[in-house]
A = this chain, B = another copy of it.
Amino acid sequence: MAEERGSTVRLRIDLAYDGGAFYGWARQPRLRTVQGELERALHMVLRVPDGDADEPLRLTVAGRTDTGVHAAHQVCHLDVGEPTLERCVGHMAVPAVEALRRRLSRALPPDIAIHGIAPAPEGFDARFSALERTYVYRISDAARPVDPRTRGFVLALGDRLDVEAMNAAAAMTLGLHDFGSFATPNPGGTTIREVKHARWTRIPDAPLVPAAESRGEGYATPAAESGLLCFTIVADAFARNMVRSLVNACVKVGQGRRTVEWFAGKMAEPLREGSTGPIAPQGLTLEHVAYPPDDGLAARAEAIRARRTL
C-alpha cells in the first residue's frame, strides 16, 4: 500500500561470499544465486511478501560476479521504505539499520557474510558511483605443494608457470583498450575498459605467525597463501568474462603454449574466438570496490551513466 510507505532510504550493504555453490550474483529463476538468497532473506526479515509489486526489494550491485566466482568485498544498495525498515527493530534496543544487519546475518546461509549495512550517502549508487574494481586470481602451480583446504578459491595447475612472460602479457592490458578478444559484449554495450593495474606476483614464503611471536627455533607454519601465483587487476569496470579470459591467455603464455606476441595480437585486434575463452572460475575473487569521497558520488554516477548510454 503506497500510502503507508512514506519516504525511502537507500542502504549500502558491504558483503562477502564463497561463490562455489552459487550460479553467480544475478537472480535467476530456479537457480541458487547470491542476489536471490539475499533478496529472499531481506523479504523475510523485513516482512515484505516476495512479489509485492508496491515494495519490491531489489539489490543493485557493484560487480556482477559469474557462476563460481567469489567476493571478499562486494557492495550493493537497496532502496527501502522507512516504515518497512523501522518495522524490523521489533524488540531490539538498537537502531533499525543495526537490527536489519543482525537479522539478515542470521537469516543468511554460511557462504554469505554481511560486513556492514549503513544509510548510503547522498548520490550513492553501488554500480554507477564505483571508481574501480580490484580482482585477484589465485593459482597453485608446480612451484608449491597443493593445499586441499584452499582448493575452493585457488586453482591448482600441474605446470610451473613463467611469471616473467605472463607479466609481459599483462603489461599490455594497461590503459584504455578494446578488450573485445577477451570479453563478451553486452547487447548494445562496448568492451572498451581502462585497466589501471595488472600484475602477476609470486607470493613470497612467509610465516603465518610473525617471528617475534613464534618460538626461536623449529618449524614455522607458513601463511596459507605462501608460494601462490596471484594476478591482481584493477580497472574502472570489467566487461563480461574479461578477467577470467585475460587470466586464461596469460596462463597459456606462462605454460609456453602461446607466445607474448600472440597475446599482443589479441590486444591489437579485438575479436572474440575460441582460443581466448575464460579459465575456471574458482580462482577468482572480487576483492574490492572503490568509491569517490561522498561529495563526488553523484557526479561520478552521472558521468558513468552518460558514458555507458552513448
Contacts and interface: CB of A to CB of B under 8 A. Distances in A.
Given A208-B203, A290-B219, A148 B16 contact: yes
Interface size band for A: 35 or more
Interface string A187-217: 0000000001101010110101110011100
A230 B210 contact: no
A23 B237 CA distance: 45
A232 B218 contact: no
A136 interface: yes
A150 B136 CA distance: 16
A210 B204 contact: yes
Interface string A111-122: 111011000000
A288 B148 contact: no
Given A219-B288, A288-B219, A110 B16 contact: no
A112 B148 CA distance: 6
A164 to B, nearest CB: 13
B72 A149 contact: yes
A145 interface: yes
A209 B203 contact: yes
Greatest chain B CB density within 10 A among A116, A213, A234, A290 is at A213
B16 A145 contact: yes
Interface stretch (A38-46, A49-57, A221-229, A264-272): A221-229
B208 A147 contact: no
A38 to B, nearest CB: 13
Interface string A224-252: 11000010101000000000000000000
Contact of A201 (B206, B209, B218, B230): B209
16 contacts: A16-B147, A18-B151, A111-B148, A113-B148, A196-B218, A197-B214, A197-B215, A199-B209, A199-B214, A201-B214, A203-B208, A206-B206, A214-B232, A219-B234, A219-B288, A221-B232
Interface of A: 16-18, 70, 72, 110-113, 115-116, 132, 134, 136, 145-153, 196-197, 199, 201, 203-204, 206, 208-210, 213-215, 218-219, 221, 223-225, 230, 232, 234, 285, 287-288, 290
